[in-house]
Amino acid sequence: MVHVTSCLSSSGEIVVNEVSFVRKCIGADSSHGDLWGKLICTNFKVSFITHDALPKQRFQVANRLLGEHDVPLACVEQVVTVNDAKGKQKVLCSNQKLKFNPTELILYCKDFRIIRFRFDEAGPQSAKKVCLAIAHYSQPADPQLLFGFEYVGKQYYGSLAINSIPTQELTAACAGERVNGVDPGGGLQMPLFDRPSEWDREIKRTGAAEWRVCSINEGYIVSSSLPEYFVVPVSLADQDLKQYLCFFTAHRIPLWCWNHPNGSALVRMASISDPLQQRKLDQRICSAITKSHPQRSDVLKSDLDKNLPNIQDIQAAFVKVRQICVIEPFEESEEKWLSSMESSRWLEYVRYVQIFRRHWPSRLAHRAVCTGIAAVLHEEEDRDLSCVVSSLVQLMLDPHFRSLTGFQSLVQKEWVMAGHRFLDRCNHLKKNDKEESPLFQLFLDCVWQIINQYPAAFEFTETYLTVLSDSMWIPVFSTFLFNCPQQRTENSMDFSKSKCIPLGEEKALRFPPVWDWSQQFTPKDQALFNNPMYVGKGATCVQNGAVKSFRRTKKNYSSTLRGMPSSLRNILMDGHDSLTLTRRNSLVPRLKPDFSQIREVVESPTERFFRDWVSRPADLQGMLIPQLLPSHLALWRLYFLRWVPEASILKGGPVTAYHKLSQLADEVEKLQSQLRQYKGATPASTPTSNPSAPPSDHSRMYFKAGSTLEPSSTPEYLSSSFPFSPVGNMCRRSILGTPLSKFLNGAKIWLSTETLANEAL
């Protein structure tokens, strides 16, 4: 007998309602393989406790906060109830009445899952109550009703949870020390940019000598959406900034993002609200940025509002992708699937973010590297697309941000502390659909596109990106829960007063950031984040028993651009009309031009730069320029199609290569460890154990190297949806190996068969 309390995995979680004898639907046409159990709604999640004995899924990543059949309430997009006898269907909202007894409940989830429950054997009134509870608690009316407040209040400050907190964390919390972002030994893992010292370190790391940390917003007295500390030019005094701030939208003074080694800076800037002061103030800001450059270089401004799609268009495209990937049956839409995906415009917007006509991140990168011009990203509020573009520019220019710790600090700096409106854009409160927009998901998709082209340049994997995206719907972490740091402080202070929680010297409740991955995953599951192909700065090798460092480059050339006339290469790289996304068939004449009509034209400096760049081997520790032809873009299958059995292939997809590479990387690490033990030993001596060496079973890789006697074939349980198993989580038939799934795991998207045949010119 399974007890209800077994579903409570978090501090502060309580059962709201429940119903027994519920069937979770697995098959679409029959009940074969369905699971029986109890459906429970808590103040944190929808939990299904099955009575059926299921084999342990050792290939599926396990979340410490969620069970295999759990869905966080924040992840529920829509609650739909059905009555078969009356032929009625109703979308439930908060505090709404249900006039019929439901026979079926369908949950449409923000992570692209569709979950169905049947109430054929359940009590009708109990089924109705649990459906209404799910609808009500998945649509909170106030930020303080989000589960994160109860979780933090109980786990860190509640007397009932004191005994469950590890001694080390409790001591650190009482002493006001940082629990997250610091390893058990006290070494800094990553900055959260909530204190001046961390901004100082970033200034020194990037060599931004003419920039300083500004503290005029301490206590959020200047701007509610800015962090308490940010970086400004040295030439701008605090008194000047206080004078200027009233002219900027929401008092958002221009923010420093990053410095190139040549002195070029990347700056974000909101609109100047007073048109009479616009020209004068704009000149003063640009003059201060120029003075911060060693060569007093000019400033290049890019207006994101004019060159990129708006947040409503991006949201509409994302909704269409969900419709195509999840809701529409694959077997009915297979013939038109690719054209439907193209018409959604999602990949088009992914591309537009990286190449918005003339002011795209790669072009800004060229300006910073070659001409030394500082770049200013201009947006109305400087809280949406500027987060996407500034992050991508830094990712392409600075290899530090391609490491796991560096990438996390980038998101913390450019999204969380810069005031991206996660609460509104994720629509956690279900208040205003017009404010919802998947901008962070768009950014992660852009990152995945670059990883797909330069897989050895990043320390983290697409599994990490997928897990990071899923964490947006776990309302525990401060990272994705608020519109700005000030909102977190204000709401947590109000919550603390209402719950009589003593804050002591703290300004607000100490919400855990998502970067404390130990709260969600075991060390073994966190190993899925590590890329075995990563070529980091100062990668180590062993030569004659000595550990040395070296830099490697991935020696590959662009197969698309090699062998093409220079004029055609310039056209394809220039970012003008020849790169505008069109229907697939119209791409054929563009990729098959009449070479007799092509005349050599005078190259611009930018065109020459990119021509030279693509002709050289990629420097994985240098600047990365993504290839932006439509044929270079792909659908992020692991994220969009992981719950669709029809699109999954047994032992197929990137997991096969990941499995082999992980074993190889693990074997290399073991050999290096053994060679270190031999260092300094005489030929007659035997290797002795080194106390500082990692344990024999320690590995950064999820898959470990076996002995030479063991077979090295790919395990049968792996599929292209690894490590997110669709078993028990889908209302689809488990059909593997359809023609579409084979295409998705091998061919390029966006191009017709004729275009693919003629792509290599």
Q: Is residue 363 part of a domain?
A: yes
254 and 368 in one domain?
yes
- Cα distances (Å, whole numbers) of residue 467 to 18, 22, 61, 452, 704: 29, 29, 10, 17, 22
Q: What is the pLDDT of residue 488?
A: 94
| Token couple for 178 | 């940082």
Q: What is the pLDDT of residues 502-559, one digit of tens each?
A: 887 788 888 999 999 999 999 999 999 999 999 876 444 444 444 444 343 333 333 3
Cβ atoms within 10 Å of 84's Cβ, excluding its own: 12
Chain centre distance of CA 622: 23
CA angle at residue 384 from 515 to 283, to 5 degrees?
A: 120
For strands 546-550 and 539-543, give the pairing: antiparallel
211 and 116 in one domain?
no
Average pLDDT (182-209) is: 80
- Cα distances (Å, whole numbers) of residue 82 to 97, 128, 167, 385: 14, 11, 49, 39
Detail the DSSP E strand segments found in 367-424.
374-378
Residue 151 confidence class, pLDDT cut points 50, 70, 90: very high
Lowest mean pLDDT among 150-159, 302-311, 412-421, 552-561: 552-561
Q: What is the pLDDT of residue 680?
A: 59
Q: What is the pLDDT of residue 3?
A: 38
226 and 123 in one domain?
no
Q: Is residue 629 part of a domain?
A: no
Q: Tell me which of 680 and 216 has the higher pLDDT.
A: 216
Question: Alpha helices of 165-307 — where are they, by DSSP H?
Answer: 167-175, 196-206, 238-244, 275-291, 304-307
492 and 343 in one domain?
yes
Average pLDDT (654-683) is: 84
Average pLDDT (582-604) is: 44
Q: How many CA atoms lie within 13 A of 499 on its CB side?
A: 22
378 and 236 in one domain?
yes
Q: What is the pLDDT of residue 676?
A: 85
| Token couple for 149 | 């407040």
Residue 697 confidence class, pLDDT cut points 50, 70, 90: low
Nearest Cα neighbor of 457 from 609, 632, 669, 622 is 622
Task: Name the phi and psi angles at 280, rounded to 5.
Answer: -65, -45
Which of helix, strand or coil describes residue 485?
helix
Chain centre distance of CA 48: 27
Residue 486 confidence class, pLDDT cut points 50, 70, 90: very high
pTM metric for this prediction: 0.84
Q: What is the mean pLDDT of the chain?
A: 79
**Tokens 């972490």 found at:** 477
- Strand-pair partners of 23: 36, 118
437 and 303 in one domain?
yes
Q: What is the pLDDT of residues 201-227, one digit of tens each?
A: 999 999 999 999 999 999 999 999 999
Is the bond preceding 723 in cis, omega lying within 30 degrees of 0? yes
Q: From CA 537, how far away is CA 402, in angstroms rounded?
A: 10
449 and 329 in one domain?
yes
Residue 712 confidence class, pLDDT cut points 50, 70, 90: low
Q: Is residue 288 part of a domain?
A: yes
215 and 117 in one domain?
no
Q: Tell me which of 200 and 631 has the higher pLDDT.
A: 200
pLDDT of residue 601 exceeding 90: no
| Token couple for 87 | 């032929």
Q: Is residue 174 part of a domain?
A: no
Which of helix, strand or coil describes residue 547?
strand
Q: What is the rounded radius of gyration, in angstroms, for the C-alpha atoms of the chain?
A: 27
Percent of the chain residues past pLDDT 90, beyond the cut: 48
Q: Do the Cβ atoms of 122 and 21 come closer than 8 Å?
A: yes
Q: Tell me which of 182 and 123 has the higher pLDDT.
A: 123
27 and 118 in one domain?
yes
491 secondary structure, DSSP code: H
CATH at residue 52: 2.30.29.30
Lowest mean pLDDT among 41-55, 211-225, 512-526, 598-612: 598-612
Q: What is the pLDDT of residues 77-119, one digit of tens each?
A: 999 999 988 888 999 988 888 989 999 999 999 999 999 999 9
388 and 258 in one domain?
yes
Q: Do the Cβ atoms of 420 and 411 come closer than 8 Å?
A: no
Percent of the chain residues past pLDDT 70, beyond the cut: 72
Domain that holds residue 55: 15-139
Average pLDDT (15-36) is: 84
pLDDT of residue 583 exceeding 50: no
Q: Is residue 56 part of a domain?
A: yes
Residue 27 confidence class, pLDDT cut points 50, 70, 90: low
Q: From CA 233, how far away is CA 214, in angstroms rounded?
A: 9
Residue 749 confidence class, pLDDT cut points 50, 70, 90: very low
Q: What is the pLDDT of residue 685?
A: 45
Q: Do the Cβ atoms of 748 and 559 come closer than 8 Å?
A: no
Q: What is the pLDDT of residue 147?
A: 95
Average pLDDT (737-753) is: 44
Q: Is residue 670 part of a domain?
A: no
207 and 119 in one domain?
no
Q: What is the pLDDT of residue 367?
A: 65
| Token couple for 263 | 């002195």
Q: Do the Cβ atoms of 404 and 190 come closer than 8 Å?
A: no
Average pLDDT (275-283) is: 88
Q: What is the pLDDT of residue 598?
A: 43
447 and 351 in one domain?
yes
How many distinct structural domains can be found in the chain? 2
Q: Is residue 152 part of a domain?
A: no
Q: What is the pLDDT of residues 415-462, one digit of tens each?
A: 999 999 999 999 999 887 889 999 999 999 999 999 999 999 999 999
